[in-house]
Structure 1
Amino acid sequence: MTGLLFILVYSLNAFSQKQIPKINIKDLNGKSIDIRNIVKDKPIVICFFATWCKPCLIEMNAISDEYEDWQDESDFEMIVISVDDSKSNAKLKSLVNGNDWPFEVYSDSNSELKRALNISSIPYSLIVNKEGEIVYEKTSYTVGAEYELYQKFKELSSR
């Protein structure tokens, strides 16, 4: 009986994992890309931000400072997705180029992905495993939270 209960609980947990949906986002040149093609076959961090969001920019710059070291140490990979509207795309390119971020930046200017993932506020970060399942989610940013995100990535990607 205990074994049956364990299997039932484990099965319910497995089905409760959210998957990355089939939705197109755009790179900074306007090329449309299915998000699932970006996240397949590898664990990855996805951070949602906006050009007007100060905590978002602080977080992106903090991660940028550590990014190369984290990649060398653990194959850390991250993409960021702007939820700015299409009128702000020129500002987005300028911001990315001015900060020289080492990670890929995409746009969800119609907020389709944001809505599909039920994201209500930014900054918002998630970790996706190599099967495309969302295994960790975090809202907001405080100084030092980038290290917690990185530790969680290492923990989850070693499984």
Structure 2
Amino acid sequence: MTTERKRVLAIAVASGKVAYVFLIDGKLKDWHCSRAASLSAPKGRSLFRRAVARFEPSLVVTEDPFKPTRKSGISLEVLNALVQELTDSATPHHLVQRDQQFANKYHEAQSLAKRFPAIAPWLPKTPKIWEAEPVSAIYFEALSMAALIIDDG
């Protein structure tokens, strides 16, 4: 008798970047970020399709664009396109609302890096007020959504 392994693909969208993390049975196996996928809804869908074909997830997790979100503009368009692709393809999925459970995203990233040490080298440093958000911060946004699903069983 074989037990099916839970394969979770979590996708996060932010201004200028789209990233995914892939976990098997709660263990982080792969992650990737694309700037090109953030440029338009079709490019975001393309990244999604390639990731699903590559990893064959049993569940895809992303932010729920129909609940309160800080996404706007092209980021919201890309997120809506991903959700539409999930619905059209009948891919098992779960939409989550991003709730702030830490003082900021950098404290959340530190907590996630302790839990998933493989991604610790990509831990973003808190930028100075005049600096842009580090690109690697998007990995931890995706990872936080995956962790919600893993923790809920």
TM-score (norm 2): 0.32
TM-score (norm 1): 0.31
Give the structure with higher Rg (CA).
1
